[in-house]
Structure 1
Amino acid sequence: MVRLKFSVNKLLVTGLFWACGAGLALAQSAGESYALPLKDLSSFQNPGKSWQIAGGVTAELDKANRLNTVEGNGVLVNDPGRRKKGTDLYTNFEHGDMDMELDFMMAKGANSGIYLQGRYEVQLNDSWGTKTATSGDNGGIYERWDESRPNGQKGFQGYAPRQNVSRAPGLWQHLKVSFQAPRFDASGKKIENAKILRAELNGVVIHENVELFGPTRGAMGNNEVPTGPLRFQGDHGAVAFKDIKITEYGKPRPELVDLKYQVYKGKYEVEPLYDSIPPEAEGTSVALTSTISPFPNDFLIRYRGTLRVKEPGEYTFNLNAGGGGGMMKINNKVVIPIGDRNLRGTVNLPAGDMPFELIYSKIVEWGRPSIGIAVVGPGIREYVMGEPVAGGGNNNSQGPILVDAPVNTILRSFMDLPIENEEGRRGVRVVHAVNVGSPEQVHYTYDMDRGNMVQVWRGGFLDATPMWYSRGDGSSRPVGAVQHFGQPAFTLAKLSSPQAAWVADTAGSGYRPEGYDVDKNDQPTFSYKLYGANVQDAIRVLEGGKGIRRELTVQNPGENLYARLAEGNTIEAVSRDMYTVDGKSYYIKVDDAGGAKPVVRDAGGKKELIVPVRGKVSYSIIF
């Protein structure tokens, strides 16, 4: 007999843990992952002439539908414009349940897409600067089509991304999609629609749990199938792909069968002697659920049945015991012990049928009862046996508290940057941060302690939940796709030579912030003193939301004063006054350097773009 030894305090923690852990990944998924080889085109069926393998690729902001390539491998490029006609590209492999992750680059004005199983299109498009995205914009799930429907209604069931976080042409963008294939019974009849469980574009969730009722327009077939090829659209525009990673989940899930239950009334903090008390209710069930209890509070459910495992290997189980606690045994061995804060267990299971037992004790009066087990195993994406986690348990978390920017908006807060600090730990807090939002959906954070921007982003403005909910911690966080600029540092510094290390602190600089003035459009210009000079720092959003323009005006700059415009692992010149930074993450365009010449230099294993200051420096960050 296993004693439960539950305590109310531990159960409070247990319920909170389960609820707060809700999401796609309560346990680590264990699919079969591989990278798509891009040394040649042998991964694809009969590739057309518009497709090629290259070592690198660039696009120009002012030249429509054109990509420039360099020799080598690792990048898949489609350039239909130069060869008059492009064709779609199909992989040699077919997939069912799958996670896909890749980088892509759009040429100016280009249109493309990726068809999951050749049938369900995730749209790729040059949607840079588009304020209101549709299903035809970048990251949208393209619409279905029916010619028999009335005009204006032929297209239907398309899904726009939650927000437009698209980058400029010629910049690499990152896409992640978790896809669940349609399900069929033994006779081949579809019993469950395909789903996009989750999609992220440039680090922002743009879709969750979108049901796909049928193939989208332009599918390779209107039939639906358990598996199909990945298809890259090639007949619409110039596009490039790299770092294509596939994780497949094709193995069969374990099943619970022959479930029987017994319900006992009372607040059980130890496991009862079942033979000494009669159950209040008993019977059979097809699934784990707390609703079989006739009591809202103070009860214990004992489930027993068979766990049928078809794929041997290591499995992780995470138990939802909302409003209480529990224990789980498989093959007469305890997998999830009682009284643990983290109701999780990992075990190696053979193929076959084995005894299963789960005990759930509801003793927290205000907690919402729920029972479920999140399961992940070899080649199996995480799924839940029993009641869904979302909305269950004892979750008291609040949010999100979102701040929009329908007009130019300023909000001061702490801002935590997810970058390594000087000690090598992740996380840097800017304590005097000024967050500036715009209706063009382009925003930035200014660090008053250093007179510099620390990040820019596109999409929504701020999530102020950690700042305003309950007692708060004073911080807010960006909602959209963020471009960080590394360790917070000064924009201006005096250097003994063009090779000297950039100034790391205020020692000897005489730095003194003097706040900011707001113009008639509620846009701030920041002021500070540095090395005895007066500095005006005016930052404005570019027309059409294309990026940020910054103008630094320095009165009496003195000798050997430099501005650092960018720091990154790579900085490459693409024209006389334009550079790409950090592997084509964003552009820097030098608009006016007062006749001074910008220099790209090595600095501590990275690159820096610096320019001598002769009174005024203006440049644009295009992303």
Structure 2
Amino acid sequence: MSLRSFLLHGSMALVLAACSTATEQPLSRPEALPMEELSLDNLDAFTAADPGWRVAGNVYASRQQPHYLEAAEGKGILVFTGAKSNTALGTTWKHRDMDLELDFMLSAGANAAILFQGKYPLQLKDSWLKDSLVAGDCGSVAGQPPLLNACKAPGLWQHLEVKFKAARSGHPQDSATAAGFAEVILNGRPLHLEPALAAAAQDIALRQAPAAGPLQFLVQQGPVAFRNIRYKTYGDARIQLADMQFRVYEGVFKNHDTLKLLMPVRTGRTDSLTYRVGDKRAHLVLEGKLQVPATGDYIFTVQSGGPVRLMIDSNQVANNGGTRNFLDVYYGDTTLQQGEHFFQLSYANYDESLVLRYEGPHIPFTALTTPASERPVEPSPAMEYPVKGMPVVQRGFMQHQGEVNPYSIAVGIPGNINYAYGLVNYSPLMAWHGRFIDVAEMWHERGEKQLAKPLGATLELAGVPCIAELSSADAAWPAAIREDSSSYTNRGYKLLPGGLPVFFYTLHQWAVEDYLHPREDGKGLVREVTITNQEPGSGNAWWLLGSGGIIEKLPDGSYAIDDKRYYIETTADVQIQHNKDEYRLVLPLQPGNKTVNIHYSIIW
């Protein structure tokens, strides 16, 4: 073959390879290994229990009556309704490092704790609406109160996520490192900025790390309930790297297979996995062996400032699709046998950032790349928008159900109650107690994201249109309104003398005025809606008060919405509808009525 033919053949190969990869997109992969679930069909997963512990199928706790909780027969919920205080229930298994997720419910005035390794408590207490938090309030660990009050009302399910690190002993002459709560998240809000350390006095005296211990549920004042208890326990085994080499190529390539046609400009051996062994604006290949400690499923993540691909045993495991956004994380999963596996990490170094992490059987997410290989990001400074003597209103973008809503308005009200309203679907997006919003991403530098971030634990609402004309009661509810919809007409909003907005819009002949304000007791929001039928005698419409999972009418007359995620109180003649997997609390609008006034409270 002549040199000209060889070059032409090589150019064609490059073009074909580039074309074949241009459409390659990263696949959607699991982002974590599944957690183990603690069976609550009975009490077999626990050691001998006080008679006050039982399993139930449903529970109801009054938010007005202290220490009152009813439990219905069934399974799936762990309940303590006994009279004794300081009653603990421990698992039959023991743990050291672990991740824990669960839902808990407190009766009014209840106080309980979860003891990690049987000795390190995380406090669960009815701290609803408490302004000043102290050690012992809900979410406290290691004698440290939480940063904010994320506690919901008694009788509602609350979601808790914890990462616990067991103590470690070093040299025999050294004292043990204290156990730590690396992460505590209550109802979606982190409660501690730094890992909170805790050490039992006897462990300090013995200068040793405590042995593995059970997970315990301690009730100091009940009743309380738990469900959806899921966990991961971790050991000390990790993947080890061996026989690592690198190759550096001139240029950067989105198609990693292009490198097969090129000669490296530099090669060598390395004892660490980092982009720093390569060059800026050059392509780097790192390869070697993974010493895998246990057979099982593994999740790998890549994060880089340029195209990156991870191969294990010649199979592609993760690929970022060629992006240069070094903040985006891409996932891949594979099953590995215990022992030695060949890996190759190919990286086009545009922006000097390369991170490879993995999770495996009883192994938490761990970085294989060095810390110096990750590009540090300076966080935006907090810019709190304070609420003082009058309500404040801020237009902007807000995160709602995992997506950015660009047509939202945040309303902050004195008395630590706030909400956000969607100006396309004409409905509340979320509500929260506490401080108002952080506007740093609206104003810092170029303010590209335009995001306003609530400073409290948010109650996310459905955000769907609240009025709809349906062919029948069980017809599908509209999920959204197009911005250019001719059926719904936005007529804007006005500020009342007190500073709160009233929203106006129409659906065909139905003219709506929507006004939200705090309850007199400060425990939620009141929604006052006035609907005028401009063509009395025609139309068949419904008003949606709440939707989601199971809706129950409670003994106190209120409604628990979306499987006891929040309450609605109303005296209106409402109906509970069930359509496929969704429940709806609705009020039919009678076509003969010219004006309908709807009044209800949202409590969480």
Which TM-score bucket, shorter chain as reference? Answer: 0.7 to 0.9
Pick the aligned partner of 1:584 from 556, 564, 567. Answer: 564
Q: 1:578 to 1:227 in 2, by over 3 A?
A: same
Q: 1:106 to 1:327 in 2, by over 3 A?
A: closer
For residue 496 of structure 2, what is the aligned residue in structure 1? Answer: 518
Letter of the 1:588 counterpart? I
For residue 310 of structure 1, what is the aligned residue in structure 2? Answer: 293
Pick the aligned partner of 1:393 from 375, 382, 393. Answer: 375
Q: TM-score, normalised by structure 2?
A: 0.74
Query: Displacement of 1:233 after TM fit?
Result: 1.0
Q: Structure 2: where are the runs of 5+ without partners?
A: 1-13, 19-24, 253-258, 324-329
Superposition map of 1:164-313 within 5 A: 164-184=149-169, 192-207=177-192, 210-215=195-200, 224-250=209-235, 252-256=237-241, 288=273, 307-313=290-296
For residue 374 of structure 1, what is the aligned residue in structure 2? Answer: 357
For residue 101 of structure 2, what is the aligned residue in structure 1? Answer: 101
Query: Which stretch of structure 1 is more off in the superposition, 102-111 or 204-213?
Result: 204-213
Superposition map of 1:551-570 within 5 A: 551-553=528-530, 558=536, 563-570=543-550
Structure 2: distance between partners of 1:339 and 1:244: 33
Identity %: 29
For residue 621 of structure 1, what is the aligned residue in structure 2? Answer: 602
Structure 2: distance between partners of 1:574 and 1:99: 34
Q: Deviations over 1:212-234 (max 9, x none)?
A: 24149999x99742421001012
Query: Displacement of 1:525 after TM fit?
Result: 2.8
CA contact (8 A) 1:405 1:438 kept: no
For residue 78 of structure 1, what is the aligned residue in structure 2? Answer: 80
Q: 1:278 to 1:178 in 2, by over 3 A?
A: closer
For residue 163 of structure 1, what is the aligned residue in structure 2? Answer: 148
Q: Deviations over 1:341-371 (max 9, x none)?
A: 389876665544678888989x65xx55x66
For residue 422 of structure 2, what is the aligned residue in structure 1? Answer: 447
CA contact (8 A) 2:358 2:366 kept: yes
CA contact (8 A) 2:160 2:187 kept: yes
Superposition map of 1:124-163 within 5 A: 124-143=124-143, 158=144, 160-163=145-148
Structure 2: distance between partners of 1:42 and 1:201: 28
For residue 7 of structure 2, what is the aligned residue in structure 1? Answer: none
Superposition map of 1:424-439 within 5 A: 429=405, 431=407, 433-439=408-414
Structure 2: distance between partners of 1:486 and 1:355: 48
Letter of the 2:185 counterpart? E
Letter of the 1:310 counterpart? P
Superposition map of 1:317-332 within 5 A: 317-318=300-301
Letter of the 2:583 counterpart? K
CA contact (8 A) 1:97 1:249 kept: yes
Query: Which stretch of structure 1 is more off in the superposition, 350-359 or 403-412?
Result: 350-359
Structure 1: distance between partners of 2:507 and 2:603: 27
Q: 1:530 to 1:118 in 2, by over 3 A?
A: same
For residue 462 of structure 2, what is the aligned residue in structure 1? Answer: 486
CA contact (8 A) 1:35 1:245 kept: yes
CA contact (8 A) 2:203 2:210 kept: no
Letter of the 1:578 counterpart? S
Q: 1:268 to 1:117 in 2, by over 3 A?
A: same
Between 1 and 2, higher relative CO (CA 8 Å, sep ≥ 6) is seen in 1
Query: Displacement of 1:384 after TM fit?
Result: 1.4
CA contact (8 A) 2:176 2:209 kept: no
CA contact (8 A) 1:268 1:298 kept: yes
Letter of the 1:252 counterpart? A
Letter of the 1:547 counterpart? G
Query: Displacement of 1:188 after TM fit?
Result: 10
Query: Displacement of 1:169 after TM fit?
Result: 0.5
Pick the aligned partner of 2:393 from 410, 416, 423. Answer: 410
Query: Displacement of 1:63 after TM fit?
Result: 0.6
Query: Which stretch of structure 1 is more off in the superposition, 523-532 or 439-448?
Result: 523-532
Secondary structure at 2:109's aligned position in 1? coil
Query: Displacement of 1:239 after TM fit?
Result: 0.9
For residue 608 of structure 1, what is the aligned residue in structure 2? Answer: 585
CA contact (8 A) 2:111 2:222 kept: yes
CA contact (8 A) 1:129 1:544 kept: no
Query: Displacement of 1:248 after TM fit?
Result: 2.3
Q: Deviations over 1:242-290 (max 9, x none)?
A: 1111222336112246x788999x978789989x9898xx9x96x5567
Q: 1:90 to 1:519 in 2, by over 3 A?
A: same
Structure 2: distance between partners of 1:114 and 1:413: 39
Structure 2: distance between partners of 1:351 and 1:533: 66
CA contact (8 A) 1:88 1:233 kept: yes
CA contact (8 A) 2:97 2:164 kept: yes
Letter of the 1:442 counterpart? I
For residue 3 of structure 2, what is the aligned residue in structure 1? Answer: none
Structure 1: distance between partners of 2:347 and 2:578: 61
Letter of the 2:562 counterpart? D
For residue 20 of structure 1, what is the aligned residue in structure 2? Answer: none
CA contact (8 A) 1:320 1:393 kept: no
CA contact (8 A) 2:516 2:528 kept: yes
Letter of the 2:164 counterpart? F
Letter of the 1:56 counterpart? N
CA contact (8 A) 2:302 2:319 kept: no
CA contact (8 A) 1:196 1:211 kept: yes
Structure 2: distance between partners of 1:600 and 1:50: 34
2:554 aligned with 1:574: yes
Query: Displacement of 1:163 after TM fit?
Result: 2.8
Secondary structure at 2:401's aligned position in 1? strand
Pick the aligned partner of 1:59 from 47, 61, 76. Answer: 61
For residue 255 of structure 2, what is the aligned residue in structure 1? Answer: none
Structure 2: distance between partners of 1:167 and 1:418: 19
Secondary structure at 1:234's aligned position in 2? strand
Aligned-residue RMSD, C-alpha: 4.9
Q: TM-score, normalised by structure 1?
A: 0.72
Query: Displacement of 1:509 after TM fit?
Result: 7.3
Q: Structure 1: where are the runs of 5+ without partners?
A: 1-5, 11-16, 18-25, 144-157, 420-426
Query: Displacement of 1:49 after TM fit?
Result: 2.4
For residue 548 of structure 1, what is the aligned residue in structure 2? Answer: 525
Letter of the 1:59 counterpart? A
Query: Which stretch of structure 1 is more off in the superposition, 381-390 or 506-515?
Result: 506-515
For residue 154 of structure 1, what is the aligned residue in structure 2? Answer: none
Structure 1: distance between partners of 2:395 and 2:75: 47
Structure 2: distance between partners of 1:278 and 1:496: 71
Structure 1: distance between partners of 2:557 and 2:487: 29
CA contact (8 A) 1:111 1:126 kept: yes
CA contact (8 A) 1:490 1:503 kept: no
2:118 aligned with 1:118: yes
